Structure 1
Amino acid sequence: KSSAHLAAYAGIAPVTRSSGSSIKGEHPARTGNRKLKRAFFLAAFAALSDPTSRTYYQRKRDEGKKHNAALICLARRRCDVLFAMLRNKTYYRHPHPDAAPAAA
């Protein structure tokens, strides 16, 4: 369906807790497939050695997120990449930051 559905199934999509007129902020979901959530979390942790992922993680930390929250953001990003790979039936291709598109 979409990468948001996959993230919700894995339990890495944020959820808003509300009851009546009371709306609490977004929190990590406690539901979802625990094994898939753990796989995304471990993949995000391993991705910290990649410079592109490390930059994204550091940007989230600079925004004020704690370590686990920043890792969940990175896991969600990895989820989006996985969904795109499944949708397009392609393998992962590492983006090279030094390979900028040529100006026309």
Structure 2
Amino acid sequence: MFLSAFASLRSDPASRAYYERKRAQGKRHNQAVLALAHRRILTLYAMIRDGALYDPQPAQQQLPAAA
């Protein structure tokens, strides 16, 4: 998963943004990549649990308009 997370930094803008957020929080490179790997594991688990395909842009929940 570490290698998958590392490779995703080049091709997936969402992964790159998450990595950059972790770096901005003061994490070292390896810590940020491990955090990304963990996030990818959680995503895979949710996909298996829900029987869903990967969607890089998850559906936004519609909030009711204020009256």
- Structure 1 residue 63 and structure 2 residue 25: aligned? yes
If asked which structure has higher relative contact order (CA below 8 Å, sep 6+), I would say 2
Q: Which runs of 4+ in 1 moved over 2 A?
A: 99-104
Q: Which has the larger radius of gyration?
A: 1
Decide whether the 8 Å contact of 2:8 with 2:15 is kept in 1: yes
In structure 2, stretches of 5+ residues that fail to align are none
Amino acid in structure 2 at the alignment position of 1:90: A
Matched-pair identity in %: 49
In structure 1, stretches of 5+ residues that fail to align are 1-39
- Structure 1 residue 73 and structure 2 residue 35: aligned? yes
TM-score (norm 1): 0.53
- Structure 1 residue 95 and structure 2 residue 57: aligned? yes
Name the CA shift for 1:85/1:102 in 2 (closer, same or farther; >3 Å): closer
Q: For 1:44 and 1:83, locate their aligned partners in 2 and report how far apart those are by CA, in whole Å.
A: 15
**How many residue pairs end up in the alignment?**
63
Higher strand share: 1
* C-alpha RMSD of the superposition: 1.9
Name the CA shift for 1:62/1:101 in 2 (closer, same or farther; >3 Å): same
Deviation at 1:43, TM superposition (A): 1.4
**What do the CA deviations read for 1:21-52 (whole angstroms, capped 9, x no partner)?**
xxxxxxxxxxxxxxxxxxx1111112212111
Out of 36, 46, 49, which is 1:84 matched to? Answer: 46
